[in-house]
Amino acid sequence: MAEEKKLFKVKIDNISVEVEPGTTILNAARRIGGDIVPPAMCYYSKLQGSGGKCRTCLVKVTKGSEADPRPMPKLVASCRTTVMDGMEVANITSPEVQEARKGVVEFLLLNHPLDCPVCDQAGECHLQDLSYEHGADTTRYEFKRRTFDRIDIGDKIQLHMTRCILCYRCVFTADQLTEKREHGVLGRGEAAEIGTYIQQSLDNNFIGNVIDVCPVGALTDKTFRFKNRVWFLKPVDAHRQCEDPKCCGKTVLWMRGDEIFRVTARKDQYGEVEEWICDTCRFDKKDVKDWVIEGPRKIDRHSVISQGHYVGVHKPKDTLVEVLDGRQPKLLLDIHNISEVNRPEIDLSKIDGPAHSDDFNKK
Amino acid sequence: MQALTSRARQVDRKPMTFIEKIYLWNIIKGMIITFKHIWKRKETVRYPEQKRPFSPVFRGLHILNRDAEGRENCTACGLCAVACPAEAITMEAAERKPGEEHLYREEKYAARYEINMLRCIFCGFCEEACPKDAIYLTETFAPANYKREGFIYGKQDLLIPAPGEKNKA
């Protein structure tokens, strides 16, 4: 029998939890769950080395440990600080932390273009949630926001460098998931940007996962670009037998009717993917016949994505046809004869990239 | 039995007197009320000649706005459609191509935008939700129509004419 590991007792917002030595404060908080979990924009539990960059997970350590009960002098990043035995941490109970987090959000939004009406990430964007919860409604920044020359990084992934908050998640994903990393961070400080240097296109079977790890709308799916808003789509759990041994084939299909608009990996409550999926599943399988559909995906009730999704609806039996002796009721207007929207001959989900004016005008 | 209110009266079942039987007094009483109304102020207006002023918050027919340079404001963000309690608004977005910058303000725009006026309840939530000042409710009634087809308003019905462009309607 191996020697039993001594568990560290930690108190986060006056809730006790016992965790193994070496656990970070953030992960200890996630063990408890609920409101006390600090938000994280750059930390990703599935990516080694991530964290410590965005500073949104700052917490106050009010008691260092049982042996040394002095509080830590400054707020610490909970994703990078490991727990000590008897440590006491304040997150939502500390006004200082809330104030600091508000400042961090303001800094993150300094150069963010706030083009949410255009951005495809809107509705599932962590920065949107974070600024809604913590941010001020106006900015004090008076200077021009930074802009970049647009770089084309391939025909499947769209990069919007202005929206990037430099969390480095995509770089870690490319480093750890794909065989050869082709993009990285160029420049320093304010000039830092995600790029492929010589406009080399990202070409790797797992590179599509950078879309899922991106907390903002900097990396988005080009095959889904401007096709629809996420809250008008119905997320459905589905799987398929994927040829790639590294791919689990378990995905979420974002559907409207029988059309598959987008395929993503399954994300847990912290917005982290449960298992990685390959690019074939993500970009090329946009047909219902390719998938085995398991059922609707559970979406948090407070998310905008859950709007208009009626679960467990009982459709009443229409007795009119029976009463009319099998005659169908006379329709005064079939909306599909008049409406220009959702025309069956224009299948938006089958268009490769974003739709353009000529896609709509073709007869 | 205890009466529920003090206004309850026992119905008078006595036979009518002669004065009551000839009914004249009741007719005169009724005509007094009728003729009194000739001299009273009328609550109605003579509609086609005379119109009531709209309240400043009146919500009528929708328009889609353009900016000062005549470019469409709408970016098809879908917030009006998600705010719409009657689910009257539908849209389809497209990406702006090079050379279309004078038509659309942002890189994404509504290629199709439809309001079903049969469903619309003119609550004005779409106007409130719009982050781009694109949709407004005007002080015009939605015109009546003999057919339901005429109530499906597309972009050509909703967009205000661009400056310089002659209004064909």
Nearest to B94 among A307, A340, A357 (CB): A357
SS (H, E, C) chain A: CCCCCCCEEEEECCEEEEECCCCEHHHHHHHHCHHHCCCCCCCCCCCCCCCCCCCCCEEEEEECCCCCCCCCCCCEECCCCECCCCCEEECCCCHHHHHHHHHHHHHHHHCCCCCCCCCCCCCCCHHHHHHHHHCCCCCCCCCCCCCCCCCCCCCCEEECHHHCCCCCHHHHHHHHHCCCCCCEEECCHHHCEEECCCCCCCCCCCCCHHHHHCCCCCEEECCCCCCCCHHHCEEEEEECCCCCCCCCCEEEEEEECCEEEEEEECECCCCCECCCCCHHHHHHCCCHHHCEEEEECCCCCCCHHHCCCCCCCCCCCCCHHHHCCCCCCCCCCCHHHHCCCCCCCCCHHHCCCCCCHHHHHCC
Q: Nearest to residue A224, comparing CAs of A249, A251, A255, A261?
A: A261
Shortest alpha-carbon distance between residue A187 and chain B (Å): 27
Check residue A249 and give its pLDDT.
85
Nearest to A225 among B92, B95, B149 (CB): B95
Q: Show residues of chain A in contact with B152, CB under 8 Å.
A: 335, 338-339
Shortest alpha-carbon distance between residue B149 and chain A (Å): 7
The chain-wide mean pLDDT, for chain A, equals 87
- The single-letter DSSP state of residue B92 is E
What is the C-alpha end-to-end distance of chain A, expressed in Å? Answer: 74
* Nearest-Cα residue of chain B relative to residue A119: B77
Domains and CATH numbers, chain A: 8-106 (3.10.20.740), 126-221 (3.30.70.20), 227-363 (no CATH)
Query: A173 pLDDT exceeds 70?
Result: yes
Cross-strand partners of A256:
A259
Which parts of chain B fold into alpha helices (H)? 18-22, 24-36, 79-83, 125-129, 155-158
Confirm if A296 and A311 have CB atoms less than 8 A apart: yes
Q: Does the beta-carbon distance from B94 to A355 stay under 8 Å?
A: yes
Confirm if A81 and A61 have CB atoms less than 8 A apart: yes
Distance CA(A119)–CA(A102), nearest Å, equals 23
What pairing do the DSSP bridges indicate for beta strands A234-239 and A250-256?
antiparallel
Q: Does the beta-carbon distance from B93 to A227 stay under 8 Å?
A: yes
Could you tell me if B69 lies within 8 Å of chain A, comparing CB atoms?
no
Query: A139 pLDDT exceeds 90?
Result: no
**Does B77 appear as a known binding residue?**
yes
Q: Show residues of chain B in contact with A337, CB under 8 Å.
A: 149
Half-sphere exposure of A310 (CA within 13 A, CB side): 3
Per-residue tokens: B116: 């079903």
* Exposed/middle/buried for residue B120 (C-beta within 10 Å: 0-12, 13-18, 19+): buried
Distance CA(B154)–CA(B114), nearest Å, equals 5
Confirm if A177 and A149 have CB atoms less than 8 A apart: no
Q: What is the pLDDT of residues B7-33, one digit of tens each?
A: 878 888 888 888 888 889 889 999 999
User: pTM for this one?
Assistant: 0.83
Domains and CATH numbers, chain B: 62-158 (3.30.70.3270)
Q: Show residues of chain A in contact with B147, CB under 8 Å.
A: 333
Q: How many other C-beta atoms can be found within 10 angstroms of the C-beta atom of residue A212?
A: 22
Nearest to B78 among A232, A357, A360 (CB): A232
Check residue A137 and give its pLDDT.
81
Lowest-pLDDT choice from A256-260, A345-349, B79-83, B140-144: A345-349
Lowest-pLDDT choice from A141-145, A290-294, A313-317: A313-317
Distance CA(A96)–CA(A68), nearest Å, equals 22
Q: Does the beta-carbon distance from A357 to B100 stay under 8 Å?
A: yes
Shortest alpha-carbon distance between residue A224 and chain B (Å): 11
Distance CA(B80)–CA(B128), nearest Å, equals 8
Distance CA(A259)–CA(A255), nearest Å, equals 6
Q: In percent, how much of chain A has pLDDT > 90?
A: 42
Q: What is the pLDDT of residues B111-132, one digit of tens each?
A: 999 999 999 999 999 999 999 9
Q: ipTM of the assembly? A: 0.82
Q: Does the beta-carbon distance from B114 to A118 stay under 8 Å?
A: no
Query: B2 pLDDT exceeds 90?
Result: no
Q: Nearest to residue A342, comparing CAs of A239, A219, A258, A225?
A: A258
Nearest to B82 among A231, A341, A355 (CB): A231
Helix or strand (DSSP H, E) at B90 = strand B89-95
Distance CA(A140)–CA(B49), nearest Å, equals 55
Query: A196 pLDDT exceeds 70?
Result: no
Q: Nearest to residue A254, comparing CAs of A135, A348, A113?
A: A348
Q: How many other C-beta atoms can be found within 10 angstroms of the C-beta atom of residue A217?
A: 25
Q: Determine the Cα angle at A167 with ends A164 and A172, to 5°.
A: 115
Q: What is the pLDDT of residues A227-264, one digit of tens each?
A: 999 999 999 999 999 888 888 889 999 998 888 999 99
Confirm if A159 and A166 have CB atoms less than 8 A apart: no
Q: Nearest to residue B122, comparing CAs of B38, B43, B57, B60?
A: B60
Check residue A314 and give its pLDDT.
86
